[in-house]
Structure 1
């Protein structure tokens, strides 16, 4: 009788000890998850501060790998916690394969875009097409690459706004990367002058406007090219080189204003649209002359009123 009671007590003690062990394992795993999460944030900051300044491409790769490995480790730890309290969750290899297939189909349908963005993010990082710190032009906006995450890339625009671009869009879009070779970029201004204006004077005015700007480089020198003949104008384009893509829109605005002032100095006309009217009947010609006469007389009266006032 005594031995039976002793055995029962011993077995219950073992169960209690096993329960304590399980609680200890769960507590340890929970602490490990928290520590791993905090360590990931610290390691990411360390890589950005130490490695990112010298080798931004290497920093991007290390951060992405760190995020992937941390995510996998946390998932495995959470699975181990559930397995401790629910041993039945330990599936056989066959069941695991079947479950993985079903989950793959579900996640493939529900998170197709997210998986595509994650794969695109890895391609971006390993191909080094875009790196953290690069100066890029995306959809006509000059921006700095602030961070490349697993599914999206953070761009900081000139006005301080930050936008999140899915990595798949970044991979499939035409992006100008000013940091890939050097940061020299041409600020351009396109303008049309009338056919009656002196072409040499117009080109001289545009070159002067570029040379007088303090941010425009002397080498390569600014140049003006003729882009075509329009219906009302000869179209010219100024190319002025600068070493900071971030201020390109500001430089182009400054050059546009200076060119406008230079054109007034050199009597270069920016034309209005013109139309040639051909009237075949005498009655139509008379009406056109009367209409033009009325418009001219009203214009003269308006100018006279301005002078009197």
Structure 2
């Protein structure tokens, strides 16, 4: 193998690695982002997820808090709101703690209840904290009983807060925090090494892992540190208080009447939570549709275009149903959003009309199926293979392995040459020109010999040489050959031109260059000298006739053809030996997984899957998937293997193939 081939192979492998790396990094970002979003809500809120998600009703109660721990809630009375009552109680509790810290030795905090003017009050170290009112009571509960219950809660919370402010406790919590960090680091390292080992094992063996295994391990890595952060945050009172204040700020943001829906306020946390649920729904739907496509659609429907169409319909339907359920569960009445949606629809329609046009064009292509995944197309100067058809755009992979994103509307509105539509067999035109003194019969024989020698040129329909006419400097011909794989047309043209140039040199067929005849008229030429001048110039102007066409005998032409054919035969024998060794590798241990497989109600014995064979060939032969498909097609053309029903050539799809040696 030459250095150029090794360079091209290394380049193709590098390109594939770069694309797989981009895909892996994109997946990693989504997993980390979703995990951080979930954990941020838990870290800031410290309360159940379902409570955070609920819309905010008008404030009728407010929290009594010590160091970020909610003890109980106070209701509003006629003259004082719940927020003011809770604020007075929280400030009083804070001053009680400050006074206790200043005393040396620290004094114990005492909370007691007192009844004055038929009102039960709660006091701490002689400082008034709160008064139990009728708005705080439930039916059947006495004010004194509720005050005693609150007194016990306050007593325990104040003693705990006083304990947490002592240096000994803080030193102990610092050591515990270091232990938690060490355990988290160890767990993260185990998960990281396990994920890398699974990834290397998958790359080495070629066997795919469960779809959610690697993302789950990555998510677990992030959750380890976030769980450690939540636990450490609970150990220190300052961290808990800061978390509670931040959460209260976010919960009270955007709760003014401008953001009310059905009389309910929606805070920034609620809006963020709604976006998070939508993102989780989108990821779940994508995973579900991809699983259904890989496990069921590929086994039931061989056509990739129809598979993508069904998967897209399923994804859109599940997303719409999921959004409807999420909005209903969050208490949003969709009928109240009808007016807002209509107003926004008009404004967005003008701004997003191009996007809407692309989306509609994508649906038209999916249903019309004029352009499908895997087709080789020409769009203006763009040439490539359709890799995927999305909701807004289509990905086209050029022969240089460059992905180009094209809006769907351009494919629907412009003229597209689809080489693969209907029947992939197509005809190529190779224009050539030869000198005027060339023998056209010899030109025909040379061209037909080249066309018949190339293995990728179909012999039925037969190649032809069309005489176009007399050009300015040459006899113009058009070589017409038929090919089965339109993607190979550029390499095939290059090979044929190389072979034609070599054969033209062998048979002395001249490839002309532009010529012009110059006629000079002059009245000053001496008539006496004119005949001699003409006699000298005529021989040089005539074409050379040292080797005429009659001197090139048919047996000489056949001898050269035999020499060239022997060279081609030796090259073909070398290729056959390489393919024989490859077939032995495919059929031995560590090769393809050959077993009985079921498709619909039919069992096919001793067969393998085309896409799995492509993966194996790409891994073992250091080739791209496109090159692996060409290797498989070469085995089909050599009569080594075939499709179980002989309906398809070798493809990188979920199709069953069988070696002829395994035929029952």
TM-score by length of 1: 0.73
Give yes or no for the alignment of 1:57 onto 2:270: no
Counterpart of 1:37 (choices 282, 292, 309) is 282
Q: Equivalent residue for 1:183?
A: 424
The alpha carbon displacement at 1:47 in A equals 4.7
Q: Any idea what SS the aligned residue of 1:137 has? A: strand
Per the alignment, residue 299 of structure 1 pairs with none
Within the candidate set 96, 99, 117, 2:338 is matched to 96
Instruction: Tell me which of 193, 198, 208 is aligned to 2:434.
Output: 193
Question: Which of 353, 357, 369 is equivalent to 1:112?
Answer: 353
Equivalent position to 2:505, from 242, 260, 264: 264
* Pair 1:205-2:451 in alignment: no
Please name the residue that 1:134 is paired with: 375
Corresponding residue for 1:149?
390
Shift of 1:205: 1.3
Task: Decide which of 466, 483, 486 is 1:225's aligned counterpart.
Answer: 466
Match of 2:291 in 1: 46
Q: Measure how far apart 1:217 and its partner are.
A: 1.8
CA–CA distance in structure 1, aligned partners of residues 438 and 367 of structure 2: 54
**Residue 166, structure 1, aligned to residue 166, structure 2:** no
Deviation for aligned residue 1:145: 1.5
Tell me, what secondary structure is at the counterpart of 1:277?
coil
SS at match of 1:261: helix
- What is the rounded CA distance, in whole Å, between the counterparts of 2:505 and 2:134 in structure 1? 111
CA distance in 2, matches of 1:7, 1:90: 34
Contact 1:64 1:122 in 2 (8 A): no
Query: For residues 145 and 30 of structure 1, what CA distance do their matches in structure 2 show?
Result: 33
Which deviations, in whole Å up to 9, do the C-alpha atoms of 1:43-84 show, x marking residues without a partner? 342354342561223212123223433553565467558x64
Partner residue of 2:490 out of 249, 254, 274: 249
Contact residue 60 and residue 131 of structure 1 kept, 8 A:
no
The whole-number CA distance in structure 1 between the counterparts of 2:293 and 2:419 is 21
Conservation of the 8 A alpha-carbon contact between 2:285 and 2:319:
no
Residues 38 and 274 of structure 1, relative CA distance in 2, 3 Å threshold: same
- Contact preservation (8 Å) 1:51, 1:58: no
Count residues with an aligned counterpart: 269
Deviation at 1:250, TM superposition (A): 0.3
C-alpha distance in 2 between matches for 1:230 and 1:70: 64
Cα distance in 1 between the residues matched to 2:442 and 2:393: 50
Contact 1:152 1:166 in 2 (8 A): yes
Q: Distance in 1 between matches of 2:429 and 2:419?
A: 16
The verdict on how the C-alpha distance between 1:54 and 1:272 changes in structure 2, with shifts beyond 3 A counting, is: same
- What does residue range 11-22 of structure 1 map to in structure 2 within 5 Å? none
Deviation at 1:7, TM superposition (A): 5.6
CA distance in 1: counterparts of 2:341 and 2:445, whole angstroms: 71
Separation (CA, whole Å) in 1 of partners of 2:392 and 2:453: 45
**Alignment partners' CA distance in 2, 1:131 and 1:41:** 21
3-state SS of the aligned residue for 2:412?
Answer: helix
Pair 226,103 (structure 1): closer, same or farther in 2 beyond 3 Å: farther
Cα distance between partner residues in 1 of 2:402 and 2:352 = 28
Structure 2 CA distance for partners of 1:9 and 1:276, relative to 1, 3 Å: farther
**Highest CA radius of gyration, 1 or 2?**
2
Find the aligned partners of 1:48 and 1:235 in 2 and give their Cα distance.
53
What secondary structure, in the 3-state scheme, does the structure 2 residue paired with 1:165 have? strand
Normalised TM-score (structure 2): 0.36
Asked whether the equivalents of residues 309 and 366 of structure 2 are also in contact (C-alpha less than 8 Å), the reply is yes
SS at match of 1:215: coil
Q: Measure the CA separation in 2 of the matches of 1:51 and 1:179.
A: 22
Aligned partners of 2:324, 2:524: CA distance in 1, in Å? 93
What root-mean-square deviation, in Å, do the aligned CA atoms of Structure 1 and Structure 2 show?
A: 3.6
CA offsets 1:235-257 (integer angstroms, 9 cap, x no match): 21112222212211001100011
Q: Relative contact order (alpha carbons < 8 A, sep ≥ 6): 1 or 2 greater?
A: 1
Offset at 1:166? Answer: 0.6
CA distance in 1, matches of 2:293, 2:447: 44
Q: Distance in 1 between matches of 2:376 and 2:341?
A: 41
Partners of 2:420 and 2:486 within 8 A in 1: no
- Structure 1 residue runs of 5 or longer lacking an equivalent are 12-18, 297-309
Alignment of 1:273-292 (within 5 A): 273-282=514-523
SS of the equivalent of 2:278 reads helix
Offset at residue 266 of structure 1 (A): 2.6
